[in-house]
Structure 1
């Protein structure tokens, strides 16, 4: 089989974010300056970069923090109509200390605000699919497992 005869393969966009929970179990959300909705900290993976490394880099760039990420909680296949296939990873960010919270700086100007939000209130901040993905991550963390999802729903 020649290069021209090779079948087309998926080339998904890959992004990674971190689930940070406070002592009350609320989720840390950030507000990007260029979006109407909120997100979890993280971003797109660059060529040659692992999802974990991208998540650490994005948090450092966006919040000026250097987290010690834990295990992968969920990977979600979540294609978007105008963006194509996506693979989205969420890693356990643990909890931030009061000192880390005070040290949050929006280093690159991408973010304008951060806050903790209860899992029950997520739909007021993030798209439904992300709210489902975050809840899957919370369940995986509680169960000591990881999950695979499609469109924000466990398969």
Structure 2
């Protein structure tokens, strides 16, 4: 990192994560079951130092699923409040679009990261995801179908 000003060093820091929202040919959402936490999530993770959120989403999908997928447009950006064990953060979700059945067959899970993956109907998100993430996925799925980008706070569109 380059030398930064005293002013910049004094600014608050936020956790930043990025993910990719992908679908099968039935419009179901790709979710993954991580070995290091409960419950399920979408493919993605922390943005590393000197890495763009788009590059982080692409890297995480490659690491977790073995897929080299170019992230599409930004579907949503979500500010998440502090919660037990987590600081506040910013999460960016990119469009992974519809995965071709042939691409789905090439998924190779990294066993150090994931137990499983599944394509889940939108009406079953609440049984797999924490409430904030379920709201975020529904909001970003709507943005995907509408061709929009949504600003959110805790998974709810900000007004």
Both structures adopt the same fold (TM-score exceeding 0.5): yes
Where do 5+ consecutive residues of structure 2 fail to align?
none
- Supply the distance in 2 between the matched residues of 1:111 and 1:84 (Cα, whole angstroms): 23
Q: Does 1:57 align with 2:91?
A: no
TM-score by length of 2: 0.90
Instruction: Confirm whether residue 116 of structure 1 aligns to residue 119 of structure 2.
Output: yes
Offset of 1:150 from its aligned partner? Answer: 0.5
Q: How does 1:74-113 map to 2 (within 5 A)?
A: 74-81=76-83, 82-107=85-110, 109-113=112-116
> How many angstroms apart in 2 are the aligned matches of 1:149 and 1:15?
14
In 2, Cα distance between the equivalents of 1:8 and 1:79?
21
State the Cα distance separating 1:151 from its structure 2 match. 0.8
SS at match of 1:69: coil
* Equivalent residue pairs, number: 153
Structure 1 unmatched runs, 5+: none
> Which residue is equivalent to 1:127?
130
Q: Note the C-alpha offset of 1:111.
A: 0.4
More divergent stretch after superposition (6-15 vs 30-39): 6-15
TM-score, normalised by the number of residues in structure 1: 0.92
Query: CA offsets, 1:24-82, max 9 Å, x none?
Result: 11100000011220000011000000000000001111111001211000000002323
